[in-house]
């Protein structure tokens, strides 16, 4: 069966990557195949997860590049060399330029740990998102998978899932709940939706 070739871009532990790997194994992701895991951090545990799953890995370090556009070009070359058709950002800590997002227009998705348009945009990442949600006193937060364009968290929304904020939540507790109850569910779901669409099965 023809499948869309997926690259997952990571910077850290790779819990969302693990959710994608598990979803492919269980058949939730059926129209795509994770063919490459690329990291901008040689020590990312996500690379170990990829190796354990038998997925090809690649590391591109900014410090080994002349500048940011050279760094992005090296990533683009890797993606093209591996015939990648869909890119999933799973905790990738670099903001991508317009040149990059236009090269893979409507083929890059990202998971953001809030219900966009709340607590998103430049500077909102990781625990900062959950700190802001708690500070605001919202009763419901969640996660969003969206298409990536040149505006941070600005692309078309694909899937959202709400998560309750509970009494006594800390940013860390809330982060874990949002991951378990939203991110790990909707990222594989959105990956399958887009893979199917790219295969022309929609």
The catalytic residue positions are 112
Strands 86-89 and 108-112: parallel
Give residue for tokens 């890059």: 108
DSSP string covering 8-76, please?
Answer: EEESS--HHHHHHHHHHHHTSS-SEEEEEEEES-TT-HHHHHHHHTT-EEEE--GGGSSSHHHHHHHHH
CA–CA separation, 99 and 117 (whole Å): 24
Closest residue by Cα to residue 163 from 145, 138, 187, 146:
138
């Amino acid at each position: 069966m023809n499948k869309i070739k997926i690259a997952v871009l990571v910077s850290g532990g790779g819990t969302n990557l693990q959710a994608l790997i598990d979803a492919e194994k269980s058949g939730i992701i059926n129209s795509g195949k994770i063919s490459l895991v690329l990291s901008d951090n040689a020590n990312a545990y996500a690379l170990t997860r990829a190796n354990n799953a038998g997925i090809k890995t690649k590391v591109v370090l900014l410090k080994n590049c002349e500048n940011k556009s050279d760094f992005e070009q090296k990533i683009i070359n890797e993606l093209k060399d591996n015939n990648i058709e869909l890119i999933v950002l799973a905790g990738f800590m670099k903001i991508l330029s317009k040149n990059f997002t236009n090269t893979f227009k409507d083929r890059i998705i990202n998971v953001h740990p809030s219900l966009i348009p709340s607590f998103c945009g430049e500077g909102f990442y990781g625990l900062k998102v959950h700190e802001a949600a708690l500070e605001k006193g919202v009763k419901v937060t969640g996660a969003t998978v969206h298409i990536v364009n040149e505006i941070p968290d600005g692309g078309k929304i694909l899937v959202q899932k709400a998560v309750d904020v509970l009494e006594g939540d800390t940013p860390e507790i809330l982060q874990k709940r949002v991951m378990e109850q939203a991110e790990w569910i909707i990222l594989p779901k959105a990956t399958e939706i887009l893979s199917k669409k790219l295969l022309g099965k929609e």
